Structure 1
Amino acid sequence: MTPKAEISLPSYTLNCRMSQEAAALERLCQVVRIRGFRIARMAVESAGEHLDIALTLEGTRPIAMLQSQLLKLHTVAEVGLAEGALARSCSA
């Protein structure tokens, strides 16, 4: 058996702010998965009535498409791309 070479996927860090609502976090994770990204790391902090979420994602699809889809969730207030020259912040 020969070891397989591990393919490195592009990595992105998104910072999201969303309302604390039942199942909101599950919907966010579902959109990430459906849009073709893998969650490599997730940190969630409760900030009053909001959740501040840092997501480290891996995937080959355009990250801007995921940002726009996340903003369509009624519980998401803002989504920002941390790191890199293409960093943009979007808000609902």
Structure 2
Amino acid sequence: MTPQTDISMPSYTLNCRMSQEAAALERLCQVVRIRGFRIARMAVESAGEHIDIALTLEGTRPIAMLQSQLEKLHTVVEVGLSQASGVRARLA
């Protein structure tokens, strides 16, 4: 049996609007992963020619870096941080 350690994992909610394009959502997920975040929840809604995405992310890296990288994707119309909080996670 191994001891469990409590650590704090920051949680962020990003709202993203993208143009509807074949691989747009895949590119978004790839950037999130490469920048060191884990997608805890994702809600996607089609809105005409756009896709509205609400992402709940966990990670210890600065969220501003991720926002900056997402804004560089040619399919991204806008990215906004709507919430940031701490989440307690248990590691074995």
Structure 2 length-normalised TM: 0.86
Alignment correspondent of 1:32: 32
Q: How many residues align?
A: 84
More strand by share: 2
Answering whether residue 61 of structure 2 is matched by residue 61 of structure 1, we say yes
User: What does residue 89 of structure 1 align with?
Assistant: none
Q: Identify which of structures 1 and 2 has the higher relative contact order when contacts are C-alpha pairs closer than 8 Å and 6+ apart.
A: 2
Partner of 2:80: 80
Deviation per CA, 1:60-85, whole angstroms, max 9, x where unpaired? 1110010010000000000000025x
Equivalents in 1 of 2:57, 2:3: separation in Å? 25
CA drift of 1:28 comes to 0.2
Provide the secondary structure at the position in 1 that maps to 2:70.
Answer: helix
What whole-Å deviation, never above 9, does each CA across 1:10-60 have from its counterpart, x for those lacking one?
000000000010110000000000000000000000000100000000001
- Structure 1 residues without counterparts, runs of 5 or longer: 85-92
Which of structure 1's runs of 4+ aligned residues deviate more than 4 A? Answer: none
TM-score w.r.t. length of structure 1: 0.86
RMSD of the alignment, in Å?
1.1
| Structure 2 residues without counterparts, runs of 5 or longer | 85-92
